[in-house]
Chains A and B, each alone.
Chain A
Amino acid sequence: MSETLMVSIYVFVLATFVGVEVISKVPPLLHTPLMSGSNAISGITLVGSLIAAGAGEGSVSVILGTIAVVFATINVVGGFLVTDRMLKMFKKSGGPRGTAS
Chain B
Amino acid sequence: MTAGIAIAYLVAAVCFILGLKMLSSAQTARRGNLYAAFGMLLAVVGTLVDQRILGFAYIISGLVIGGFAGVVLATKVQMTAMPQMVGLLNGFGGAASALVAYAEYIRLSGDPSPTVFLAGNVDAVVMVTIVLSVLIGTVTFVGSVVAAAKLQGIMRSAPVLYPMQKQINALLLFAALALGGWLVYDASVWYVPLVVIGLAAVLGVTSVIPIGGADMPVIISLMNSYSGLAGATTGFVLNNNVLIISGTLVGTSGLILTDIMCRAMNRSLANVLFAGVGADYSPDEARAEQRTVIRYTPEDVAYMLEHAQSVIIVPGYGLAVAQAQHVLQELATILIARGASVRYAIHPVAGRMPGHMNVLLAEANVPYDLLLEMDQINDDFQNTDVALIIGANDVVNPSARYKKSSPLFGMPILNADRARTVIVCKRSLNPGFAGEDNELFYLKNTMMVFGDAKATLMNLVGIMKK
| B29 lies within 8 A of A54 (CB) | no
Stretch at the interface among B83-91, B159-167, B285-293, B424-432: B83-91
- Cβ-defined contact, A69 with B63, below 8 A: yes
Binds A, one of B149-157, B200-208, B351-359, B401-409: B351-359
Number of interface residues of B (CB under 8 A): 120
Q: Is the interface of B mostly helix, strand, loop or mixed?
A: helix
Which among A16, A35, A69, A93 is the interface contact of B220 at CB below 8 angstroms? A35
* B224 with A68: CB separation less than 8 A: no
Residue B252 at the chain A interface, CB threshold 8 Å: yes
Contact with B along A46-73 (1 / 0, CB 8 A): 1111111111111111101111111111
**What is the interface of chain A mostly: helix, strand, loop, or mixed?**
helix
> What are the residues of chain B within 8 A of A56 when measuring CB–CB?
54-55
Residues of B within 8 A of A53 (CB): 58-59, 62
User: How many angstroms from the CA of A85 to the CA of B351 in the assembled complex?
Assistant: 18
Contact of B252 among A16, A59, A68 (CB under 8 A): A16
Q: Residues of B contacting A11 with CB < 8 Å?
A: 241, 244-245
Q: State whether A82 touches B73 (Cβ < 8 A).
A: yes
- CB of A34 within 8 A of CB of B257, answer yes
B381 proximal to A (CB < 8 A): no
Q: A38 contacts B228, CB within 8 Å?
A: yes
Is B172 in the interface zone, CB < 8 Å from A?
no
Number of interface residues of A (CB under 8 A): 89
Residues of A within 8 A of B43 (CB): 44, 46-47
Q: Is the CB of B85 within 8 A of A82?
A: yes
Q: Point out the residues of chain A lying under 8 angstroms from B96, CB to CB.
A: 43, 45-46, 48-49, 68-69, 71-72, 75
Contact indicator per residue, chain B 26-53, by CB within 8 Å of chain A (1) or not (0): 1111111110110010011001101011
For A49, the chain B residues whose CB sits under 8 A away are 62, 96, 99-100
Asked if B348 and A98 make an inter-chain contact with CB atoms under 8 angstroms apart, the answer reads no
Report the Cα distance A20→B367, complex, angstroms. 28
Cα-based distance from A87 to B48 in the complex (angstroms): 30
Q: In the complex the two chains form, is B62's CB within 8 Å of A66's CB?
A: yes
Q: Are B247 and A44 in contact (CB under 8 A)?
A: yes
Residues of B within 8 A of A15 (CB): 244-245, 248-249
- Asked if A61 contacts B103 (CB within 8 A), the reply is yes
CB distance from B201 to the nearest CB of A (A): 15
Which chain A residue has the least Cβ–Cβ distance from B111?
A58
A-contact 0/1 string along B295-334, CB 8 Å cutoff: 0000000000000000000000000000000000000000
Q: Which of B55, B61, B249 contacts A38 (CB 8 A)?
A: B249
B215 CB to closest chain A CB (Å) equals 16
Question: Do A80 and B40 touch across chains, with their CB atoms under 8 A apart?
Answer: yes
Compute how far the CA of A18 lies from the CA of B247 in the bound complex, rounded to whole angstroms.
12
Chain A residues near B227 (CB-CB < 8 A) = 39, 42
CB distance from B9 to the nearest CB of A (A): 8
Cβ contact within 8 Å between A77 and B74: yes
A38 engages B250 (CB within 8 Å): yes
Question: Chain A residues with Cβ under 8 A from B248's Cβ?
Answer: 12, 15-16, 19
Give 10 new A-B contacts, CB below 8 A, not counting A28-B373, A40-B36, A48-B235. A31-B257, A33-B33, A33-B359, A43-B93, A47-B47, A53-B59, A58-B106, A80-B33, A81-B75, A92-B368
Chain B interface residues toward A at CB < 8 A? 9, 12, 16-17, 19-21, 23-34, 36-37, 40, 43-44, 47-48, 50, 52-56, 58-59, 61-63, 65-67, 69-71, 73-75, 77, 79, 82, 85-86, 89-90, 92-93, 95-97, 99-100, 102-104, 106-107, 111-114, 125, 220-221, 224, 227-228, 230-232, 234-254, 256-257, 260, 346, 348, 351, 353-356, 358-359, 362-363, 365, 367-371, 373
* 7 cross-chain CB contacts under 8 A: A12-B244, A19-B250, A36-B82, A40-B40, A42-B227, A61-B107, A69-B63
Residue positions of A touching B, CB distance < 8 A = 1-2, 4-5, 7-8, 11-12, 15-16, 18-20, 22-62, 64-94, 98-101
